[in-house]
Structure 1
Amino acid sequence: MEAITETLTWTNSMAVSGIILGATFIGIFTEGVHGFHRTKFAMGGAAMMVLAGQLMGFYDPQMALEAIDWNVVFLLGAMMTIVAIMIPTGGFQVLAYQIADFSKGRQFLLMALLGTAVTVFSLLLDNVTTVVIFGPLIVLIAQALKTSPVPYLLAAALLSDTGGVATLVGDPPNLMIGSAAHIDFNTFIIKMGGLVLVAWVAILVALKFLFNKELSGKTEQPGFEDQEKLTDPYTWRMSLLVLAVMVVFFIFHHHLHWEPWVVAVLGLSILLLISKNVDMDDTLEDVELSLLMFFMSLFVLVGGVENSHFLEYLGQFIRPFVESDLLLASILLMWVAAILSAMIDNIPFTAAMIPIIMGLEQQGINVSPLWWALAVGVGMGGNGTHLGSTANVFIVTLSERIARETGNADWRITPGLWFRKGTPAMILTLVTSSILMWMFFDFFGQPIPR
């Protein structure tokens, strides 16, 4: 690729787009302070960007429509709908109760098995959806065993955040990175799979020591046989079959010249056709349209900033450092992405970083390791605080509700508790990932196949 060496000069368009971007992100990141949903700020920022861009000549509605990454939107929407079909079947409940039965009261084994189940589903379903499914089930199991659900809930959040980094469809930021960098399903899991597996095992071992007191001894084992019932066995089995077929097509989608969303929509269409008991209106009510609107608004917002060349202007100051030491730049990006993702939502940060990395690529720099470092950082960085990912927020909210209902304050996951348990887990995974990135940098530095 021929390097682009032209130096950009500061313009009014850059200033205006940068101000709109900054104001919107501040509104998104301070959602808990002002009480406005982040989607409202994203939509407002996107609208202001289009208006300002049209007035100043750097953006217009047609360009905004083209800026939306429909691959991400359709893929996420289709997977959400498949999950909405699967939840009422009772299959997830049966699986969770069978795991509890198998553990025979051994608490660490129960944590490991539940964590494995959450991780496996996080490889195909996004981690938020996975903890929404398993969180309430974990609470029911813990109450039946007369033990605290806190270690299991924290393990579900930490392991789902980590496991979701392994695949293209496991975490929303992965979808964004994969679509922007044209990374196929196979390449993503080959590059990330080994690193994530090591980090996942490290977290599980760390949880054994972090919750050593809580997990010591065996619990009562009341038995869950009466609760192990599928309410819709046919739809559950068909859903699993469709997911298995989708995995095969995800593996070969690059050879078929299909975008990942085609596989997801095709799988959803087949499942809807063969599942006659599925009510479309009820199913679509469970799809998170606000999240899809948030994504579309972010794409429009960042598209305007990109067309004003503001991010490209910033990128030219980063370029000398990246060129001088790509390994150090990759590891530094991983840690910065993780720390910021622990403090703020990782999706807006990912959206802002993608055009910068793409700009570096246009200047002739091998950005492959930067993509992998970004995916690791924003994925595993979410483990650092209770606000680091949407999955974490759901788990904390669930624990607070259970603590109120039972009157047991010890069942509440506080920010301090998360800092003592989750932050060490995040640091451990980042140290592990940094070492692996350093040891196998030639592997991560290989150009992404197109």
Structure 2
Amino acid sequence: MESHILTEALTWNNQMAISGAILAATFVGIFTEGVHGFHRTKFAMGGAALMVLAGQWLGFYDPEKALHAIDWNVVFLLGAMMTIVSIMIPTGGFQALAYRIADISKGRQFLLLALLGTAVTVISLLLDNVTTVVIFGPLIILISQALKVSPVPYLLAAALLSDTGGVATLVGDPPNLMIGSAAHIDFNTFFIHMGGLVLVAWLTILVAQKWLFAKELKAETTRPDFSKLEELADPQTWYAALGVLAIMVVLFIVHHALHWEPWVVAVLGLTVLLFIGRKVDMDSSLQDVEMSLLMFFASLFVLVGGVENSHFLEYLGQFIRPFVESDLLLASIMLMWAAAILSAMIDNIPFTAAMIPILLGMESQGINVAPLWWSLAVGVGMGGNGTHLGSTANVFIVTISERLAKETGDDSLRITPGLWFRKGTPAMLLTLLASSIIMWIFFDFFSTPLH
């Protein structure tokens, strides 16, 4: 997104008022989709259309500027990664991995939780957290039923650790893609700054889950044989996909030296996989791509692009600037906690989209906003763990637990808002506390200018 360089204080005007009102109304519609029943993408598209029309009428925005406001790097990267995942799921590779982990654990519940949590976290480094829990959620239930134990600790851990793991890499979570693309942060830089912090958060969640689910994890289990369930449905495509992903990781690491955007790596990997995987059906693979999410992103970029062109967010940013300049460390930690709390209550993607131009505006004025980028990434990533509605991954996990409780008639299998508050919210608070301490201790590292 382009940012406007301020030479003097901005004054309030009609363009700011109209664009701000459209932004606020759209966000209210997005955040209350559970009340009115309209999907958030519909409100994002409606808000984007209104912004273009109002901008053209008032002279601060037009369709051409709207097209340039879309961050195509994010859209293409997400679309390509979704397609790769849709090719990998039918091969049976993820199922075989989960059953292998269950077999290794030999009925020891915390070991099983730690191993499944590790798998979920590692996969979330490259694949988005929603995809990860969609793959592992049903498998966790099958494994738990075979062991005759409650799946609740494992389901909750999968949601928490997928959200946390995604924070570590540029491609692990949609807000990271937005931040990295806007701030021109490459894959290596992102992982170097976030990797260690996420490792500490990961260990914190595992320890917290062992403590919070101490009773459930001590229950006796049966010892079924999972080894016979480890066969792959399509080994050729599965191993080809693993090989392509390995090459993609290398290319992600060197993409900056190659002068490639991350989407180029993802699309190139997808293209190679389509040629190697002879059994891949293009139509069925593309059917699983979440077009509504891609439309949501594109519409958000158009919406926020209009607000940016009216300079409304920069108007707000000039009130934040003195505080940032006076105490950058405190401002960074406060942004982390504010982003986390808001992301626990509402979707983190719109919040990230609104914060990006504010930070870019301050950066254009010569302020070192490097630690603010890292704080924003940590806050919106970790904050999703705070409530059952904090991320789409959480919503999916809660939904399948409710379905299981209804099918079995056992209400103890239902992950309720109260249960999440008792077991999930403490994990979020502990990870934020750990992240704040790391930010404080290594602030010189995080505050090193990015460019």
Provide TM-score, normalisation by structure 1.
0.99
What displacement does 1:223 show? Answer: 1.1
| Alignment match, 2:422 | 420
Counterpart CA distance in 2 for 1:278 and 1:3 is 49
Q: Which runs of 5 or more residues in structure 2 are unaligned? A: none
CA contact (8 A) 2:45 2:296 kept: yes
**Structure 2 counterpart of 1:248, from 247, 250, 254:** 250
1:233 aligns with 2:235: yes
Counterpart CA distance in 2 for 1:179 and 1:11 is 30
**Structure 1 counterpart of 2:356, from 349, 354, 357:** 354
| Alignment match, 1:392 | 394
CA contact (8 A) 1:3 1:364 kept: no
CA contact (8 A) 2:5 2:361 kept: no
C-alpha change, 1:413 and 1:202, in structure 2 (3 Å) is same
How do 1:119-134 residues align onto structure 2 when only pairs under 5 Å count? 119-134=121-136
| Alignment match, 2:292 | 290
**3-state secondary structure, aligned to 2:48:** helix
Counterpart CA distance in 1 for 2:411 and 2:92 is 30
| Alignment match, 2:449 | 447
How do 1:222-371 residues align onto structure 2 when only pairs under 5 Å count? 222-371=224-373
| Alignment match, 1:91 | 93
CA contact (8 A) 2:122 2:165 kept: yes
Counterpart CA distance in 2 for 1:323 and 1:422 is 35
Counterpart CA distance in 1 for 2:34 and 2:151 is 25
| Alignment match, 1:195 | 197
Query: What amino acid is the match of 1:128?
Result: V
Query: What amino acid is the match of 1:371?
Result: W
1:75 aligns with 2:77: yes
**3-state secondary structure, aligned to 2:256:** coil
Counterpart CA distance in 2 for 1:407 and 1:3 is 61
| Alignment match, 2:34 | 32
**Structure 2 counterpart of 1:109, from 84, 89, 111:** 111
Counterpart CA distance in 1 for 2:374 and 2:105 is 36
Q: Cα deviations across residues 339-374 of structure 1 (Å, max 9, x unaligned)? A: 000000000000000000000101110000000000
Counterpart CA distance in 2 for 1:131 and 1:365 is 39
What displacement does 1:439 show? Answer: 0.4
Aligned structure 1 segments of 4 or more residues deviating by more than 3 angstroms? 2-5
Counterpart CA distance in 2 for 1:397 and 1:239 is 30
Counterpart CA distance in 2 for 1:357 and 1:373 is 12
What displacement does 1:407 show? Answer: 1.1
What displacement does 1:208 show? Answer: 0.3
Aligned pair count? 448
Counterpart CA distance in 2 for 1:227 and 1:29 is 42
What displacement does 1:5 show? Answer: 4.1
What displacement does 1:4 show? Answer: 4.0
Q: Cα deviations across residues 77-102 of structure 1 (Å, max 9, x unaligned)? A: 00000000000000000000000000
Provide TM-score, normalisation by structure 2.
0.98
**3-state secondary structure, aligned to 1:214:** helix
CA contact (8 A) 2:149 2:219 kept: no
> Which shows bigger deviation, 130-139 or 2-11?
2-11
What displacement does 1:221 show? Answer: 1.3
Counterpart CA distance in 1 for 2:38 and 2:86 is 26
